Amino acid sequence: MIEIRHLTQTFGNKKALDDVNLKLEKGGIIGLIGPNGSGKSTIIRSVMGILKPTAGEVFVDGKKVTRTISKRIAYMADINELYLPTVKDNIDYFTNIYKDYDKNMVMEIINSLQIDLNMDAKGLSKGQTIIIRFALTVARDVDYYIFDEPLSGLDPVFRDSFINRLTNYRKNNPHKTIIITSHMLKEIQGLLDEVIAIYFAKILAHDKKENILRETDDLETWFKEQYVKAGITF
């Protein structure tokens, strides 16, 4: 279980997170949704031990997080970490850092892209980069997987490809916990089991998708309703 207690993150005078409390049980796909700049990535970075909380604490399976939490959580950041010269260099490097990799799975996914492994990693398209990073994330044998804004900037073909791959992965690994952040509610609606709505530093709502869809037509409508309930106007 991931537990966040009274988490506050401030950057200068700006509060990126304000007394956030969350409990995420194991299993399923959890969507952390909200507009750009609402604090989604800050929550993720706090869970990954990258940001030290200004106040509050984060626990994973009862243990307070430090930067070594990456041993137990596979994380696809919102930055492109394929920074070594060729595609092969990156695959070799990352699959050797973590001992829990299924290298066959990495290669199976990457081979489906039909790219030359010796090509310059800078020459990859955004979509190809995301699928390679997806492979380097899901091929790890851990309990938790976090994807921070994986769909951002993707063209529709690779967006569908990513969603299909994640859906298939989830089918084969129902006990794993997957957290995905996005502001593209329509696109990820089909994927999710649980939804957390965040709006500028605060959690607006947190519920199972089945409960949400019993009351409203789609996540976007529900998300807007949460704005209204919180007294947010545009």
Partner 1 sequence: MFALNFNKEWRMNKAILKSFFTILIIIFLTNTTFYILLKSFDFAFNTGNILKAIWAILAGLSSMLGMILNIALMYFLLSKDLGKNKVHYSIFTPQSLLSWYLPKLVFLIIIQGLFALIDLGYNFFIFDIANSLSGGAADFDWKLIIIDYFTTTFNIGFFALFTLCMALYYSFRNKGLSWLLIVISLIIYFAASNGYTFYQQFQMVLNNAIFEAVPTLLINYGIKNITGLIFIVIAMYLFDQKIEY
Coil vs helix vs strand at 231: coil
Identity of the residue, 122 or 229, whose beta carbon is nearer to partner 1 in the bound complex: 122
Identity of the residue, 140 or 176, whose beta carbon is nearer to partner 1 in the bound complex: 140
Q: In the range 66-125, which residues lie near partner 1 by CB under 8 A?
A: 67-68, 70-71, 77, 79-81, 83-86, 89, 93-94, 96-98
Identity of the residue, 134 or 223, whose beta carbon is nearer to partner 1 in the bound complex: 134
Closest Cα to residue 105, out of 134, 144, 82? 134
Measured between alpha carbons, how far is 90 from 106 in angstroms, rounded to an integer? 12
In whole angstroms, the minimum distance from the beta carbon of 151 to partner 1 comes to: 19
In whole angstroms, the minimum distance from the beta carbon of 61 to partner 1 comes to: 17
In whole angstroms, the minimum distance from the beta carbon of 1 to partner 1 comes to: 22
Identity of the residue, 9 or 189, whose beta carbon is nearer to partner 1 in the bound complex: 9
In whole angstroms, the minimum distance from the beta carbon of 110 to partner 1 comes to: 18
In whole angstroms, the minimum distance from the beta carbon of 51 to partner 1 comes to: 7
Q: How many CA atoms lie within 13 A of 182 on its CB side?
A: 26
3: exposed, middle or buried (C-beta count within 10 Å: 0-12, 13-18, 19+)? Answer: middle
Identity of the residue, 140 or 209, whose beta carbon is nearer to partner 1 in the bound complex: 140
How crowded is residue 222: how many other Cβ atoms within 10 Å of its Cβ?
A: 22
Residue 23 host element (H or E): strand 14-24
In eight-state DSSP terms, residue 140 is: B
Size of the site for partner 1 (CB under 8 A): 25
Measured between alpha carbons, how far is 86 from 123 in angstroms, rounded to an integer? 9
Helix and strand totals (H; E) in the chain: 8, 10
In whole angstroms, the minimum distance from the beta carbon of 198 to partner 1 comes to: 20
Q: In the range 1-60, which residues lie near partner 1 by CB under 8 A?
A: 11-12, 48-52
In whole angstroms, the minimum distance from the beta carbon of 180 to partner 1 comes to: 18
**Distance, CA of 217 to chain centre:** 24
Asked if 146 and 48 count as a contact pair (C-beta separation under 8 A), the reply is yes
- Residue in the structure block whose two tokens are 């970075």: 45
Identity of the residue, 60 or 204, whose beta carbon is nearer to partner 1 in the bound complex: 60
Identity of the residue, 94 or 222, whose beta carbon is nearer to partner 1 in the bound complex: 94
Which residues are at the interface with partner 1 (CB under 8 A)? 11-12, 48-52, 67-68, 70-71, 77, 79-81, 83-86, 89, 93-94, 96-98
